[in-house]
Chain A
Amino acid sequence: MTILIWIIQLFFVPVISPLIIGVIKKIKAKFQNRQGSSIFQFYKDLWKLMYKDEVVSKDASWIFLYAPFIIFTVTIAVGASIPLFASFLNGPTSDLLVIVYIMAISTFFLSLAGMDTGSAFGGFGSSREMTISALAEGGLIFSLLTVALVSSSTNVFIISGINILNHSQHLLSIMLAFIGFFIILLAETTRFPFDNPSTHLELTMIHEAMILEYSGKRLALMEWASANKLIIFIALGSNLFFPLGIAQNISWLALVIGIIVFLLKILFFSTIIAILESSVAKFRFFRLPDLLITSFILNVIAIVLIN
């Protein structure tokens, strides 16, 4: 039975993530008074890209060719190690720092792949991505540290298993840490106001600029990995800070409720992200570090307030 849950957990994130991207795009389209593409459009895009040929630059090396596999692997590995709908599992890779640094592997290879082809866009895309990622890492570790200190463990499954009503004296800390985490979520998953995921202007691209040279299967893997990362961050945000409704024991009813509650939470977050994207413009690049440092300071205040 536990094996079954682990298998579901392994495949849950890659299977659900294109749907959520579709939902976000649909909501944004409705805000623009359009009909927009169907919510299953991303699946069709991925399927089509798998069956196309590829064109690879002659300046590229094995890093360009293998980076999509490494990045996709990282998102699957992290997706299987975080609490999605069940909190009674215990994985050896579920430590908070392990998750943060394994995701840093994907940032590392993404930036290298962007620089590998020698185009100007990839180069400055990598530069911007690393600037934002370097500053976001501090905020990420500290926001997760806040909930870890509240539940005295850095294992994310144990953190999601706490009953938040027992710790109501820490509610303010958890709220502040959640706001900090939300800013980091927007930064790392390349959403507004950090990055526009559907822009055509290379001067405004951060994540898109690094994948301009990919085509075919590798492009499909890169886009899919980016969608997976969104689900991973939403899962961390919803299950670590608001672990209500997550399955705490191994009965069928608890699991079904857990899955439904998780899907509702993801839909709620995607609605918030879509509303944010429809009402706020992308910030100028040099205002973004201010936002990240604000997130970091909120997290530090949250930690100090725990005691």
Chain B
Amino acid sequence: MLEIITPSVSFFVLLSIFFIGAISSLIYQKNDSIANFLSSFFSIIGSLCGLFFSVSMIIYGKNLSFIINYPYSSFFKISFHIDLLSAFFIFIISLISLFCSIYGVGYLKHFYKKYSIGVFGFFYNLLIGSLLLVVTASNGIFFLIAWEIMSISSYFLVVYDRYDTDNIKAGFLYLIMTYVGTVFIILSFLFIYKYIGSFEFIDIKSGISLIPLSIKNNIFIFTIIGFGTKAGIIPFHIWLPAAHPAAPSHVSALMSGVMIKTGVYMMIRLFVDILQPIPVWWGILILIIGSISSLLGVLYALTEHDIKRLLAFHSIENIGIILLGLGSALIFYSLNMPELALLGLMASLFHTLNHAIFKSLLFLSAGSVINEMHTRNIEEYGGIIKYMPQTAMFFLIGSMAISALPPFNGFFSEWLTYQALFQGVAQLNLSFQGIFIIAASSLAFTGGLALTCFVKAFGIIFLARPRSTKVSSIKESPLSMRIGMGFLALMSILFGLFSGYTSRLLEKIGKDLSIFKDTNYFTSASFYQGIDIKNSFASVSAPIIFVVLIIIIFAVIFIFTFVINKNQKIKIENTWGCGLNLNKRAEITATGFARSIILVFKGILKPSIQNEVEYHDADSRYLPKSRVITIHVKNIYNYYFYQPLRNIINIISLKTKNIQSGNINAYISYIFISLIIALLSVL
């Protein structure tokens, strides 16, 4: 049966399903519910097909490669190359878009009559289709075309809710940053073309020795900037916290879970596959970028009170963790330790998958809450667990997964990343060991700070008493949204439980890349379906942990509820407030919760506290009526990177402005001087 699914025809069927979905929802845009049904139906069917296709490709182990020779030109051919790495990314894309589309069926209902659902369906299906094209394209020009389609369709989805001017500004920033990145990507492809003479990835790979090392270094820098802007590494991440809140929730989930991973995919494709052999400092730079992104991402996430901006900063943090795995893989391969490089790559891929799952879950459940509350500010939430218990449960599972608590999937991918870094500390000599120690410490601190941030987020949103009156009128989200979130939560648990099996498959995927053709595995299947590192350094077993915890917790609950003091009575009373009436002002606020840790890191975050007081009587200023305390945080990347850049550009522009003096005699002299220079250079 696998033979039927895997030929190239099925891939085109897959792409065309999304294309049909896009066009049909545009045709029926006059009728909102038909357009919603059509776009959701086709995207769900397409995602299911994508899932089957990618899973069968991974299990069957074959690579697909085909070229369409139309239009006949020397550098632009529509060529695809689907190896196991692309199949893995197709799997991620299909999985997330399946559940986001199911969620979208219920979610889009509140956009009816306001905006055109048909246009939304068009761009949504186009986005998913272009994501599939991006991870399978094998020609530079074709890749850039697919990249453009992805950027444009996501831009239109970001500004979909256009009555809010903040969204328009966010979309504009997103567009600019995307194009800055695309410019650098085009530059790097042009450099490659100059030395190789072709845009085909296969030709580039076989002819890589034609590129001199200094140009290769330049290509590396341009590629890091270009794909890093899409992935969201610091300091090119400024579009992420602006664009993700602006988009509708399931588009945010898709963007954060899948679209930024295409940046990671191209980095893996270029640095591990196409541009090898690479100097060792490339891996070191990626490791450093990963450490900085993860730490700063989570620190800025702690200061946020807009739930979606908080989740966007966590995406930056997790991209940092993915880059830690990738960087360690590159360093190990450059130092001739391919087994450890495979381990690092495996950790990086596993974390990509896991992050896609739990970040989408978090965005979807945050979206359900925002849908009901109509505000994104968590200071107005509170006590929502009583009104939306299932959404609260899904958010809790997402929080536990992202904080790397066993037995959810986040723990196992962070475990693998730790193992790759620990091997680096154990086996390398002093100079590299220092870099690995820095990376491991950033990972350790990131884990702790992420836990803090999600305790704050979950506690302030869902627990205790409501902090505003809007909470009393909310109700649980519709069934389709809950199905989407529920299945993602289930995926999170399942990928945690079956992490041993998943890591086997990921090793197979990693080994498919040509540099690892002869590598032995560094991990092996343990007896209990877990992961074992070679030379018995470490081992973990997911099912055992799960079973042990479940058995003990049931035993504890049984003993202490039914055996000891069966007749205990539980009385429900007010919270003890030392005799005072507890209103909503007595609860901890998000600002108060995060204040301690912000002040601990005040060297990096540079907070400033503002006090606004309103008095009952403005003249005597004795009895305050209300007091608002705001903690502002200075964004250091803004201050140290973008402001100086802006100032330099301003200064240069002002100096260059002097050329335009408005005097026509000066312009004629410019023409005369340039003619003389042209004449001299020809002679």
Contact = CB atoms under 8 A, between A and B. Distances in A.
Whether A associates with B in a native complex is yes
B404 A101 contact: yes
Interface in B239-270: none
Contacts of B404: 101, 104
Given A97-B415, A115-B459, A213-B576, A134 B593 contact: no
Most B CB contacts (10 A, CB to CB) among A127, A134, A149, A213 go to A134
B430 A307 contact: yes
B22 to A, nearest CB: 43
B1 interface: no
B451 interface: yes
Contact of A53 (B382, B406, B569, B574): B569
Contact of B539 (A92, A105, A307): A92
A54 B594 CA distance: 32
B530 A134 contact: no
A304 to B, nearest CB: 7
Given A112-B459, A116-B464, A137-B445, A217 B568 contact: yes
A76 interface: yes
A54 B568 contact: yes
A216 B586 CA distance: 25
Contacts of A289: 600
A273 interface: no
Interface in A202-221: 212-213, 216-217, 221
A131 B576 contact: no
Main secondary structure of the interface of A (DSSP, over half): helix
A93 B545 contact: yes
A93 B403 contact: no
Interface stretch (B96-104, B116-124, B135-143, B421-429): B421-429
A205 B430 CA distance: 43
A117 B574 CA distance: 9
A113 to B, nearest CB: 9
Interface in B129-167: none
A116 B463 contact: yes
Contact of B565 (A50, A92, A128, A142): A50
A59 B536 contact: no
Given A98-B540, A108-B400, A152-B537, A217 B565 contact: yes
Given A53-B568, A117-B464, A303-B437, A108 B451 contact: yes
Nearest to B601: A289
A76 B552 contact: yes
Interface residues of B, number: 81
B448 interface: yes
B538 A153 contact: yes
B458 A112 contact: yes
Contacts of B434: 304
Interface stretch (A17-25, A67-75, A160-168, A242-250): A67-75
Contacts of B403: 104, 108
Interface in B579-594: 582, 586-588, 592-594
B560 A69 contact: yes
Contacts of A135: 445, 448, 600
B552 A53 contact: no
B207 interface: no
Given A118-B465, A127-B588, A289-B600, A56 B570 contact: yes
B573 interface: yes
A221 B569 CA distance: 17
B564 A101 contact: no
A134 B451 contact: yes
B588 A115 contact: yes
B386 interface: yes
Interface size class of A (residues with CB under 8 A): 35 or more
B650 to A, nearest CB: 40
Interface in A76-117: 76-77, 92-93, 95-98, 101-102, 104-105, 107-108, 111-112, 115-117
Nearest to B586: A120
A119 B577 contact: yes
A286 B556 contact: no
A2 to B, nearest CB: 16
A118 B587 contact: yes
Given A53-B570, A117-B464, A217-B568, A136 B448 contact: yes
Interface in B379-403: 382-383, 385-386, 400, 403
Contacts of A57: 572-576
Given A93-B548, A101-B411, A117-B575, A130 B455 contact: yes
A98 B464 contact: no
Interface in B434-487: 434, 437, 440-441, 444-445, 447-449, 451-452, 455-456, 458-460, 462-465
A303 to B, nearest CB: 6
Most B CB contacts (10 A, CB to CB) among A54, A92, A128, A217 go to A92
Given A92-B530, A98-B545, A54 B571 contact: yes
Contacts of B575: 57-59, 117-119, 213
Contact of B451 (A52, A107, A141, A216): A107
A241 B586 CA distance: 45
A108 B405 contact: yes
Most A CB contacts (10 A, CB to CB) among B415, B459, B574 go to B459
Contacts of A55: 570-573
Contacts of A95: 538-540
A133 interface: yes
Contacts of B556: 69, 72-73, 76
Contacts of B540: 92, 95, 97-98
B544 A59 contact: no
Given A56-B573, A124-B588, A286-B600, A102 B406 contact: yes
Contacts of A58: 572-575
Contacts of A216: 568
B568 A97 contact: no
A50 B614 CA distance: 50
Contacts of B576: 57, 119, 212-213
Interface string A120-132: 1011101110110
B81 interface: no
B550 to A, nearest CB: 9
A82 to B, nearest CB: 13
Contact of B553 (A56, A61, A69, A138): A69
Interface string B405-416: 110000100010
A153 B565 CA distance: 45
Nearest to A10: B552
Interface in A17-69: 50-59, 61, 63, 66, 69
B425 A50 contact: no
Contacts of A274: none
A298 interface: no
A133 B597 CA distance: 11
Nearest to A66: B557
A169 to B, nearest CB: 16
Given A59-B383, A92-B530, A216-B568, A115 B451 contact: no
Given A70-B553, A213-B575, A303-B437, 4 more contacts: A50-B564, A118-B587, A134-B445, A152-B537
Return the 7 tightest CB-CB contacts between A and B, nearest first.
A123-B588, A118-B464, A134-B448, A137-B448, A115-B459, A138-B444, A130-B452
Interface of A: 50-59, 61, 63, 66, 69-70, 72-74, 76-77, 92-93, 95-98, 101-102, 104-105, 107-108, 111-112, 115-120, 122-124, 126-128, 130-131, 133-138, 141-142, 145, 148-149, 152-155, 158, 212-213, 216-217, 221, 285-286, 289, 296, 300, 303-304, 307
9 contacts: A59-B383, A108-B405, A115-B460, A120-B588, A137-B448, A153-B537, A300-B441, A304-B433, A304-B434
